[in-house]
Amino acid sequence: MRRAVWLFSLLSACGFEDFDKFDVDTADPAGSGGPGGVLDSSDSGLTGGGSGTGPGSDPCPDADADGVDTCSGDCDDASASTFPGAAENEDRPAACMKDSDGDGWGDANATGAVEAGRDCDDEDPTLTPEDNDSDGVSTCAGDCDDTDPTRAPGNPEVPYDDIDSDCDGDDGGYGTTASGGGGSAYPIDDYGTTTSTATVAACSSIYDLLVTVGISHTFIGDLQVSLRGPSGVSVLLHDRSGSSADDIFGTYGTSTGSLTSAESMYAFIGESGAGTWTLEIYDSLGGDQGQLDSWSISLVCL
């Protein structure tokens, strides 16, 4: 009898449950199987039942250890960065999304069971659809500084101020210089006009300019000096001032210059600078002569 109790316990531990079909002949405790009470099929209707699940068959696994199992909605249990609530900044914060860079925004390129979010680059936490400075542009849309509303694509650029205002990767603008002819071949005669040209290859829009002149003359009160740009705009640099003083050497410019122009140099700002620039010197009176020694123009272009 003790053997039967022991055997029932063993079979129960092994998953057998249908004990109604298990019959031990107590009249033959040794069993017909022979000495020692070894059971065989002739001793009983021994049948095994049971429905043990065993290890490795968890119906709600959390294989990626992200704290959310498949029964709780984890749509990719092989990725610890993908689960419902991963992208808390999205307008669907409970959706099953992927957030690899941990910025709170879902991968915009997600496919399949993973819902797509709005993060343009889910490997770079600095790129998000947020607009923290309220300038209408996010870092995903090219804002190079989302803490400064004065810096965004399309903003006006101020060249050479050490600030990339339009987020194009540089400080804006480029410089170009051209020189015109001068020397003995360019005399300034009484009642005559001396002309010299300089050609600028490329300049879409003038942001700043500086003109350097070297004019030798014994009575600069006789002279009118003008600069004409490729677009036809003309500015009078010197208008018979200085009386009997000698020579005009220096610079005329929009932002800097050692000489003050008779008319504003700002007339050139925004004009195209590409093409031929012309310097003209007119000697309005007789008795004094001179020559154009040299001249050049330097442009800052956008």
Tens of pLDDT, residue by residue over 194-216, are 999 999 999 989 999 999 999 99
Are both 205 and 285 inside the same structural domain?
A: yes
pLDDT of residue 15: 52
Q: Mean pLDDT across the stretch 182-203?
A: 92
**Is residue 58 situated within a structural domain?**
no
Q: What is the pLDDT of residue 255?
A: 87
C-beta separation of 221 from 241 below 8 A: yes
Which residue reads 């022979």 in tokens? 34
Q: What is the pLDDT of residue 38?
A: 45
Model pTM score: 0.51
With respect to residue 260, please indicate whether it lies within any of the assigned structural domains.
yes
* Domain annotation covers residue 165: yes
The answer to whether residues 30 and 72 belong to one domain is: no
119 forms bridges with which residues in the sheet? 107
Instruction: Tell me the mean pLDDT in the region 39-62.
Output: 57
Angle at 223 between CA 220 and CA 226, to 5 degrees: 125
- pLDDT number for residue 30: 45
Question: Which residues fall within 8 angstroms of residue 155, CB to CB, at 6 or more apart?
Answer: 165, 166, 167
Q: CA nearest 120: which of 153, 142, 136?
A: 142
- Does 236 map to a domain? yes
How remote is the C-alpha of 268 from its chain's centroid? Answer: 34
Residues 199, 247, single domain; the answer is yes
Using CA atoms, how far apart are residues 119 and 122, in angstroms rounded to an integer?
Answer: 6
Report how far residue 185's alpha carbon sits from residue 196's, in angstroms, rounded to the nearest whole number.
Answer: 10
Q: Are residues 28 and 43 in the same domain?
A: yes
Which pLDDT score is estimated for 17?
A: 53
Mean pLDDT of the chain: 84
On whether residue 2 sits in a domain, the answer given is: yes
Higher per-residue pLDDT: 300 or 11: 300
Strands (E), the chain: 82-84, 96-98, 174-180, 187-188, 193-200, 206-217, 223-228, 234-239, 248-253, 275-283, 290-301
Residue whose C-alpha is closest to residue 139's, from 118, 158, 159? 118
Examine the pLDDT at 1 and tell me if it is beyond 70.
Answer: no
Give the rounded percent of residues in the chain with a pLDDT score beyond 90. Answer: 65
User: Does 283 map to a domain?
Assistant: yes
Among candidates 105, 61, 57, which has minimal Cα distance to 81? Answer: 105
Residues 6+ apart with CB under 8 A from 189: 283, 289
Q: Beta strands 234-239 and 223-228: pairing type? A: antiparallel
Is 266 in the same domain as 202?
yes
Q: Kindly state whether residues 154 and 198 are assigned to the same domain.
A: no
Q: How many domains does the chain have?
A: 4
At residue 56, the pLDDT reads: 57
CA angle 215, 257, 170 (to 5 degrees): 125
Which domain range does residue 13 map to? 1-52
Same domain, 73 and 47: no
How far apart are alpha carbons 158 and 173 in whole angstroms?
A: 8
Model pLDDT, residue 162: 80
Note whether 77 and 105 are same-domain residues.
yes
Residue 226 falls within a domain, yes or no?
A: yes
